[in-house]
């Protein structure tokens, strides 16, 4: 009999898995560290050092390992935080950029630990996949001009308000 497996996200860190997990679980509601395992004899680091940290972010299960410098986090995998309001977008964007994060285009950023995030408004999917191709195209054009996403700008682009200004000047609003 085939059963449904448990699926979670596994993240490889050089040596700061516990620090990252503690930061993330403080930042996101409904989050907690669920288990910490330590290296024993024969590990790549001193016995008693943190090996893995299991945690939940908004009820999503993750495990982080202090695996050494062999592998690096890349944008090939990112975590997506879907936000209801601009205030939430602003909060998570600024918090994840703090202390050395790097912003990128279209709502993407790398936090100080090297983990890629997408901070997106929950309305984005409906706006960018509108059955009216002109509306969807305007949203896509506005999206490509932004680093941190601005929900009001995306909504105005969808409605056709200010879209000419964005296209003509390259500025938002």
- What is the distance between the terminal CA atoms of the chain, rounded to a whole angstrom? 57
pLDDT digits (tens), the chain, 173 positions: 888 888 899 999 999 999 999 999 999 999 999 999 999 998 777 899 999 999 999 999 999 999 989 999 999 999 999 999 999 999 999 999 999 999 999 999 999 999 999 999 999 999 999 999 999 999 999 999 999 999 999 999 999 987 444 443 444 43
Q: What pLDDT sits at residue 109?
A: 98
Q: What pLDDT sits at residue 122?
A: 97
* Angular region, 19: left φ>0, alpha ψ -120 to 50, beta rest: alpha
Considering only CA atoms, which of 124, 105, 109 is closest in space to residue 75? Answer: 109
Q: What pLDDT sits at residue 170?
A: 43
Q: What pLDDT sits at residue 169?
A: 40
Q: What pLDDT sits at residue 35?
A: 98
Q: What pLDDT sits at residue 171?
A: 45
Beta strands of the chain (E only): which ranges? 9-13, 32-38, 50-57, 60-66, 78-83, 102-103, 108-110, 116-121
Task: For each of the domains in the chain, give its residue range(s) and CATH number, in order of start.
Answer: 1-68 (3.30.720.100), 77-173 (3.10.180.10)
Helices and strands: H and E segment counts in the chain:
6, 8
Q: What pLDDT sits at residue 164?
A: 40
pTM of the model: 0.88
Tokens of 3: 């059963």
Helix (H, G, I), strand (E, B), or coil: what is residue 168? helix
């Amino acid at each position: 009999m085939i059963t449904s497996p448990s699926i979670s996200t596994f993240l490889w860190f050089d040596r700061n898995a516990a620090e990252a997990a503690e930061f993330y679980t403080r930042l996101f509601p409904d989050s907690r560290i669920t288990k910490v395992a330590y290296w024993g004899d024969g590990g790549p680091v001193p016995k008693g050092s943190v090996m893995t940290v299991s945690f939940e972010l908004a009820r999503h299960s993750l495990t982080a390992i202090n695996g050494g410098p062999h592998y690096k986090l890349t944008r090939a995998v990112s975590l997506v935080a879907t936000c209801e309001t601009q205030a939430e977008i602003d909060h998570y964007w600024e918090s994840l950029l703090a202390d050395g994060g790097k912003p990128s285009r279209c709502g993407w950023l790398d936090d100080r630990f090297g983990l890629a995030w997408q901070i997106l408004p929950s309305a984005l999917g409906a706006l960018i996949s509108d059955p009216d191709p002109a509306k969807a195209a305007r949203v896509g054009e506005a999206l490509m001009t932004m680093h941190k996403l601005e929900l009001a700008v995306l909504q105005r682009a969808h409605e056709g308000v200010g879209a000419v200004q964005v296209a003509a000047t390259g500025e938002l609003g």
